[in-house]
Each structure stands twice: as structure tokens, then as C-alpha cells.
Amino acid sequence: MRAQRGINHCCAGGNMSKTEASAGLADTTRPGVHRTWRDTYATRLAVTDFLVLIWVVFGVQIAWFGVTTSDIQFRGRFNEVAVSYTVFSVSIIAAWMLILGIYGSRGYRVLGTGPQEYKQVADATVRLFGLVAIISFLFHVDIARGYILMAFPIGLGVLMLSRWMWRQWLGVQRLGGRFSSRVLLVGSEASATHLARELARQPAAGYLVVGACIPSGFIADYLPGTRIPVFSNVQKLQAAMAAVNADTVVVTSSDELPPDRMRELSWSLEPGRQHLVVAPSLTDIGGPRIHTRPVAGLPLIHVETPRYEGMKLYTKRGFDLLGSSLLILCLSPFLAIIAIAIRLSTPGSVLFRQDRVGINGHHFNMLKFRSMVTDAEAQLAELQDLSEGNAVMFKMKDDPRITPIGKFLRRFSLDELPQLFNVFGGTMSLVGPRPPLEREVSEYENHVHRRFLVKPGITGLWQVSGRSNLSWEDTVRLDLYYVENWSMTGDITILWRTAKAVLAREGAY
């Protein structure tokens, strides 16, 4: 009876989902009509790309040649051929649109999250630029260099801006459950529950879990701790998908699904409209470390082990050295003003030095502008029971030890600026895990010590994801994810997100 109630509930949810679908979750579920949100969004991107390229290419043509058109010059046997730059501009726009489509820059698998969409737009643009250069050389075409050197970089920049704006819009839509893949999970109770919770953390990724199918016969109305309806008969997968209006099946574990059943499951899906995703039992692995290689009909997933040596390490140190020196130079007048304000406002030293644990467990003195009274450490024991932080780190929103000017400095994270000297000296990095106190390290579980494989950072994933508002488990998860997957591109992204987080002042106290 309980299972039947769950199925009836799912069917009721399915009817509601169809109503929502007409409002934008999916364009239609009627037989024979296959236009989905993916097609709608890709069409909008194509229209925007086209308008951007018209504006940029013809704008550059007018800026370079004026409103009167000119002819491209040919040398050799083609010297009598006359082709106007207007025709050439139209050809460039058409070729640009074609190559953006060929490289899959509007494919739904790259939209919404991650850098792959931007990479494909950049790759397509660079290759088109190279193709134009090769054709010009082979056929002795004298194209105005200024026209080319302006059109491609500006076009790429405006395309990136357009895609970023669309991505912000898409993220807002996905927060409301629209323009997302409607997912039916298939697997064990534990794996389905875990994946449902992880996907719920990032709605902007575009996977909205609407149901679960537990082949082992799990009997319940919903997955534990969620409002996701459960089916127990994988043989009626299409009926389950129809009940919750799902268009994507995600296999969370294959323990209950032998190879022949997995093959039949994939065959049962409608090509082009229903999709199959297999989630391996790997978590917190970055995309660049994952490579899929089909061998003997088996989709083997190769996961590269993280490396903390070689050229990447030297590149990171060079970036830290250059970045910290430039920031110190540019901010030196501002640092002097803060130092004077601290000295005049409260008694005590300007800088606060605190012993922290860094790379490979080595201790170092971390620098900060003093934002508390001089005997703050002595008062800590009395306030320990009032901590509003997580299980390991002490945090308190209205900490009585903070000075008036210290509140201002902390609000905008200005007290962290002296750590630029730590970065310059080599004990810290611009981006990395949070540098912990010795008393915090003593409470670490063994696996948490992996965060000492890289230098601690002024900022990191923990800072741009909530800072003091995070639980200890989330703090560890983010730090370890960074350690396992760090890259220069990721560091630059985190620095950009840090600037936004500081302005938002979220989690800073």
C-alpha cells in the first residue's frame, strides 16, 4: 500500500509537471513534437551570436574604411578579381556562425556551468582566424591587417560577454526549476540520495531531480530527507519517466543493474529526447583530470592523479610573485592609510602575527592588520562556548574583542591585505586552502591533512562559497577539492569571484 501511495503521488506530481512544462520547464511532451528547452535556448544563442557578429564585423568595417566600401586586393593571376569588403564581411559572419556550430559551442552539454562553453567559442574563433590567414597566404589576398586584427579580438570579447550574460539569465531560470534536465535517478537508496543532495547544491548546473527508481525494492514515498518521489519497478522505467515528466535518466550505481539490463535501459530511451547519464562513484574530481576512453565496448574513465611538482608549480609561484608584488606596489598608499588609522584609533601594534600551519605542515607567521584588542587571545577561552562557527573553527558575528575600526576592516576583508607579504615571501599563495591554527589541526581527521600538500592561500574556494557561513564539512570538502584539482585557470576564476564576494560582504565577520 505504501509503495502504491508513492506511485500515485508520483503520477500526481507528473500531472503538475506537465502543467509546469507549458510554462517553460520543457517546451512540450506531446508525441511527435521534439522541440525542447535545449533547442529553444540554442536558438536564442544562435540569434544573439548572429547579431553580435553583425554589429562587430560591420562596425569594424565602418570604423576602418568609413561608410564607403573598398575592394580587397589580390596579387598574381587573381589581380583582376574585385571583391568588396562588404561581401567579405558577410562571408566572415557566415563562416563564424558555421564554425561556432561545428565546434558545439551551443550544445546543451556545455551550457550553464564550467569553462567548456567559453573554450569552444575561443577555439572556434582562433581557428577561423587561422583559416583566414592561410587562405590569404595561399591565394595572395591582401586583406587590411587592421580590419582583421580588430574584428577577431573584439568579436571574441563581445561573444564571450554575450554568452556570460545568457549564462547569468540561465542560472536565474534554473533556480526556479526551468531550463533544466528533469532527472530520474536509478540506483541504490544511498547513491541516489547522495547524488540528489549534491545536485540540489548546484541548481545552476541544470539537473533537476524529480524522481528516483530503486531497483532493490526500497519501499518509501520519498527518498530519505527529500521530497523526491520513489518508484521501485525499473521494468516500468518509461511509465516512471512519464509520471514525473523526466527527460534524463541518471544511473547512480550499477550494483543492481547487470550489463545486459543497463544496455536494455539505454535502448528503452527515446533518441534525441531522452538522455542517459552514468554517475561513477567518484566525487570532487575536476573535469581536466577525467578522460573517457572506450575499450572493447567499455567506456573506461581514466582519472589522472594530482601532481604537485614540475612546471605547474613554478608557474603558480611566478604568478604569486608577480601578482603580490604588483598589488603591494599599487596598494602601498592605501596600506599606509590603514596602518595610520589603526595606530591612532587603538593602542597596540598595527600588525597581528599569528602562528599558522602551511605547506607540508610547516609553521609560519601569518600577517594581518590588527582588528581586535591586544589581549584578544587571552579572552578567547571565555568566549569559546559562544562560537557561532563550525565544529572546528571559532567564529562569532558580534565578537566583543573586535575594535571599531576592526569591524570596518573585516567587513571588506581589508585586514587580510598584509598577507600579500606572506605571498611575496613564499609562505602563502594568492589562492589556496585556508591556513589553519595548530589547535584546529589537532582535531583533523587523517584525510583532511591532504590540504597541506599545497600552500595556504589568501583566498580560496571556501572564501568565495560562504566563508564563515559554511559548515566544517563543507569547508573541508571545498579545500580538498581545490587541492585535488587546482590549476592556473581555476586560480584566476577564484580571484575574480573573490572580488565579487568581498563586495557582497557575505560571510565576512
SS (H, E, C) 154-206: HHHHHHHHHHHHHHHHHHHHHHCCCCCEEEEEECCHHHHHHHHHHHHHCHHHC
pLDDT at 288: 63
The pLDDT of residue 223 is 84
Flag whether pLDDT at 102 surpasses 70. Answer: yes
Are residues 165 and 219 part of one domain? no
Same domain, 470 and 342: yes
Phi, psi values for residue 192, rounded to 5°: -65, -40
Q: Of 264 and 97, which is predicted with more confidence? A: 97
295 in a domain, yes or no? Answer: no
Cβ atoms of 46 and 53 closer than 8 Å? no
State the residue for C-alpha cell 582562433.
126
* End position of a domain, from candidates 160, 175, 190: 175
165 and 63 belong to one structural domain:
yes
190 falls within a domain: yes
Poorest-pLDDT segment among 117-126, 191-200, 218-227, 348-357 = 218-227
Mean pLDDT value across the chain: 79
If asked whether residues 484 and 388 sit together in one domain, one would say yes
List, as own/partner pairs, every contact residues 503-509 make where C-beta atoms lie below 8 angstroms and the sequence separation is at least 24, other chains included. 505/411, 505/412, 506/466, 506/467, 506/469, 507/466, 507/467, 507/468, 507/469, 507/470, 508/410, 508/411, 508/412, 508/413, 508/467, 508/468, 509/395, 509/396, 509/397, 509/399, 509/410, 509/411, 509/468
Same domain? For 170 and 248 the reply is no
Provide the pLDDT confidence category of residue 74 given band limits of 50, 70 and 90. low
Same domain, 171 and 209: no
Integer Cα distance of 103 and 453 in angstroms: 37
Using the 3D structure, point to which of 138, 157, 175 is the last residue of a domain. 175
What span, in angstroms and rounded, lies between the C-alpha atoms of 508 and 397?
A: 9
Residues 316 and 410 placed together within one structural domain of the fold: yes
Q: What angle do CA 354, 359, 363 make, to 5 degrees?
A: 35
Residue of 473 and 387 predicted with greater confidence: 473
pLDDT for 263 equals 80
pLDDT of 504 above 70: no
Tell me which of 220 and 385 has the higher pLDDT: 220
CA 379 to chain centre: 40
Q: Which pLDDT tens digit goes with each residue over 222-261?
A: 888 888 888 877 778 888 888 898 989 998 887 667 777 8
Write down the pLDDT at residue 27.
41
Q: Kindly tell me if the per-residue pLDDT of 385 is higher than 60.
A: no
- According to DSSP, residue 222 is labeled B
Amino acid letter, 242 = A
User: Do 362 and 459 reside in the same domain of the chain?
Assistant: yes
Domain count along the chain:
3
**CA-based angle 155:64:126, to the nearest 5?**
30
pLDDT-derived band at 286, boundaries 50, 70, 90: low
On whether both 329 and 441 belong to a single domain, the answer is: yes
Q: Is the pLDDT of residue 1 over 60?
A: no
